[in-house]
Chain A
Amino acid sequence: MKSDLYKRRLVLFTGKGGVGKTTVASAFALSCAKRGMKTLLMQVNAKDRIGAIFNQDPIGEEMVELGPNLYCVNSTPASAMREYALMTLKIKIIYRAVFENKIVQSFLNAIPGISELVLLGKAYYHAAVEKRGKKRRWDIVVLDAPATGHGIFLLKIPSVVTSIIESGHMFEEAERMKAMLEDPEFTSVNIVTLLEDLPINESKMLSETLQEELNIAVDYIFANKVLSNPFTEEEENTLHRLEDSDTLLDSLFQSARFHGARVASQKKYADILKEKIDCFTIEIPYFFDGADRAEQIEKISKIISTQLNQTGEVE
Chain B
Amino acid sequence: MSVSTSGKLAELVSRKRVIICVGSGGVGKTTTSAIIALQEAKRGKKVIVLTIDPAKRLANALGLASFTGKAQKVELEMEGELWAMMLDMKACFDEVVVRYAPPESRDEILSNRIYEYFSTSLAGTQEYAASERLYQLYESGEYDLIVLDTPPTTHALDFLEAPNRLGDAVNSRALQWLYKPTVFAGKKGLGVFSMGTTYVVRILSKLTGAQLLEEFSTFLSAFSTLFDGLQERGKAVRDLLSRDESTFIVVSTPDPLTLKEAAFFYEKLGKDQNTVGAFVINRVHDFGIDDEDLRRPIVNISTKLDTQFENPRSVAQKLVDIASKYSTLKKQDFRAMKDLKNNVSGDVPIVYMPYFDRDIHNAEGLERARLELFDKEKRI
Residues of A within 8 A of B (CB): 16-19, 45-47, 49, 52, 84-85, 88-89, 94, 97-98, 101-104, 106-107, 109-113, 115-116, 146-150, 153, 156, 160-161, 163-171, 194, 196-199, 201-202, 205, 230-231, 234-235, 238, 242, 245-246, 248-249, 251-259, 261-262, 265, 288-291
**Given known A-B contacts A17-B24, A18-B25, A201 and B357 have beta carbons under 8 A apart:** no
**What is the CA–CA distance of A115 and B113 in the complex, to the nearest angstrom?**
19
The answer to whether B55 touches A201, judged by C-beta atoms less than 8 angstroms apart, is yes
**Chain B residue, CB-CB nearest to A287:** B325
Which residues of chain A are within 8 angstroms of B113 by Cβ–Cβ distance? Answer: 163-164
B179 to nearest A CB, angstroms?
A: 11
The answer to whether A164 touches B117, judged by C-beta atoms less than 8 angstroms apart, is yes
**What is the CA–CA distance of A110 and B320 in the complex, to the nearest angstrom?**
58
8 Å CB contact of A47 from B121, B264, B287, B357: B264
Knowing that A46-B153, A153-B121, A196-B359 are A-B contacts, what are 11 other residue pairs whose CB atoms are under 8 Å apart, sorted by A's residue number? A17-B25, A107-B178, A110-B172, A113-B117, A146-B153, A169-B208, A171-B211, A201-B55, A230-B321, A230-B322, A255-B325
**What is the CA–CA distance of A194 and B27 in the complex, to the nearest angstrom?**
13
8 Å CB contact of B301 from A45, A149, A249: A249
**What is the CA–CA distance of A149 and B151 in the complex, to the nearest angstrom?**
9
8 Å CB contact of B121 from A156, A194, A248, A253: A156
**Given known A-B contacts A230-B321, A252-B323, A147 and B357 have beta carbons under 8 A apart:** no
B153 to nearest A CB, angstroms?
A: 5
The answer to whether A170 touches B212, judged by C-beta atoms less than 8 angstroms apart, is yes
Which residues of chain B are within 8 angstroms of A262 by Cβ–Cβ distance? Answer: 357
**What is the CA–CA distance of A238 and B314 in the complex, to the nearest angstrom?**
14
Contacting chain A: which of B71-79, B197-205, B272-280? B197-205
Is the CB of B376 closer than 8 A to any CB of chain A? no
**What is the CA–CA distance of A253 and B301 in the complex, to the nearest angstrom?**
12
Which residues of chain A are within 8 angstroms of B152 by Cβ–Cβ distance? Answer: 17-18, 147
The answer to whether A107 touches B172, judged by C-beta atoms less than 8 angstroms apart, is yes
Is the CB of B163 closer than 8 A to any CB of chain A? no
**What is the CA–CA distance of A254 and B355 in the complex, to the nearest angstrom?**
12
Which residues of chain B are within 8 angstroms of A238 by Cβ–Cβ distance? Answer: 308-309
Which residues of chain B are within 8 angstroms of A288 by Cβ–Cβ distance? Answer: 325, 328-329
Is the CB of B15 closer than 8 A to any CB of chain A? no
The answer to whether A98 touches B121, judged by C-beta atoms less than 8 angstroms apart, is no
**Which of A106, A169, A252 counts the most chain B CB atoms within 10 A?**
A252
The answer to whether A165 touches B211, judged by C-beta atoms less than 8 angstroms apart, is yes
**Which of B126, B173, B211 counts the most chain A CB atoms within 10 A?**
B211
Which residues of chain B are within 8 angstroms of A242 by Cβ–Cβ distance? Answer: 308
**Chain A residue, CB-CB nearest to B54:** A149
Which residues of chain A are within 8 angstroms of B215 by Cβ–Cβ distance? Answer: 164-165
Closest A-B pairs by Cβ, 10 of them: A17-B25, A18-B26, A168-B209, A107-B174, A17-B152, A110-B169, A261-B357, A255-B323, A112-B122, A101-B192
**What is the CA–CA distance of A148 and B295 in the complex, to the nearest angstrom?**
46
The answer to whether B203 touches A98, judged by C-beta atoms less than 8 angstroms apart, is yes
The answer to whether B319 touches A104, judged by C-beta atoms less than 8 angstroms apart, is no
**What is the CA–CA distance of A104 and B207 in the complex, to the nearest angstrom?**
13
Is the CB of B269 closer than 8 A to any CB of chain A? no
Which residues of chain B are within 8 angstroms of A116 by Cβ–Cβ distance? Answer: 122-123
**What is the CA–CA distance of A235 and B315 in the complex, to the nearest angstrom?**
8
Is the CB of B110 closer than 8 A to any CB of chain A? no
Q: Which parts of B14-39 form the interface with A (CB within 8 Å)?
A: 24-27
The answer to whether A17 touches B26, judged by C-beta atoms less than 8 angstroms apart, is yes
Which residues of chain B are within 8 angstroms of A289 by Cβ–Cβ distance? Answer: 328
**Chain A residue, CB-CB nearest to B255:** A290
**Given known A-B contacts A259-B322, A290-B332, A88 and B206 have beta carbons under 8 A apart:** yes
**Chain B residue, CB-CB nearest to A47:** B154
**What is the CA–CA distance of A150 and B178 in the complex, to the nearest angstrom?**
28
**Given known A-B contacts A113-B123, A289-B328, A201 and B60 have beta carbons under 8 A apart:** yes
The answer to whether B209 touches A171, judged by C-beta atoms less than 8 angstroms apart, is yes
**What is the CA–CA distance of A242 and B309 in the complex, to the nearest angstrom?**
11
The answer to whether A17 touches B191, judged by C-beta atoms less than 8 angstroms apart, is no
Which residues of chain B are within 8 angstroms of A261 by Cβ–Cβ distance? Answer: 357-358
The answer to whether A85 touches B172, judged by C-beta atoms less than 8 angstroms apart, is no
**Given known A-B contacts A18-B25, A94-B203, A167-B209, A106 and B168 have beta carbons under 8 A apart:** yes
**Chain A residue, CB-CB nearest to B321:** A230
Mind listing 23 A-B residue pairs with CB under 8 Å? A16-B25, A17-B152, A98-B203, A106-B175, A107-B172, A107-B174, A107-B175, A112-B124, A113-B123, A147-B25, A150-B151, A153-B123, A156-B121, A164-B114, A165-B211, A197-B60, A198-B57, A198-B361, A256-B319, A256-B323, A262-B357, A288-B329, A289-B328
The answer to whether A248 touches B293, judged by C-beta atoms less than 8 angstroms apart, is yes
**Chain B residue, CB-CB nearest to A53:** B257
B334 to nearest A CB, angstroms?
A: 13
8 Å CB contact of B318 from A97, A101, A199, A230: A230
**What is the CA–CA distance of A264 and B305 in the complex, to the nearest angstrom?**
24
The answer to whether A103 touches B25, judged by C-beta atoms less than 8 angstroms apart, is no
**What is the CA–CA distance of A304 and B165 in the complex, to the nearest angstrom?**
42
**What is the CA–CA distance of A40 and B301 in the complex, to the nearest angstrom?**
51
Which residues of chain A are within 8 angstroms of B258 by Cβ–Cβ distance? Answer: 18
**What is the CA–CA distance of A157 and B142 in the complex, to the nearest angstrom?**
38
The answer to whether A47 touches B261, judged by C-beta atoms less than 8 angstroms apart, is yes
The answer to whether B326 touches A255, judged by C-beta atoms less than 8 angstroms apart, is yes
**Which of B25, B200, B328, B359 counts the most chain A CB atoms within 10 A?**
B25
Is the CB of B304 closer than 8 A to any CB of chain A? yes
Which residues of chain B are within 8 angstroms of A106 by Cβ–Cβ distance? Answer: 168-169, 172, 174-175
The answer to whether B175 touches A110, judged by C-beta atoms less than 8 angstroms apart, is yes
**Which of A148, A153, A168 counts the most chain B CB atoms within 10 A?**
A168
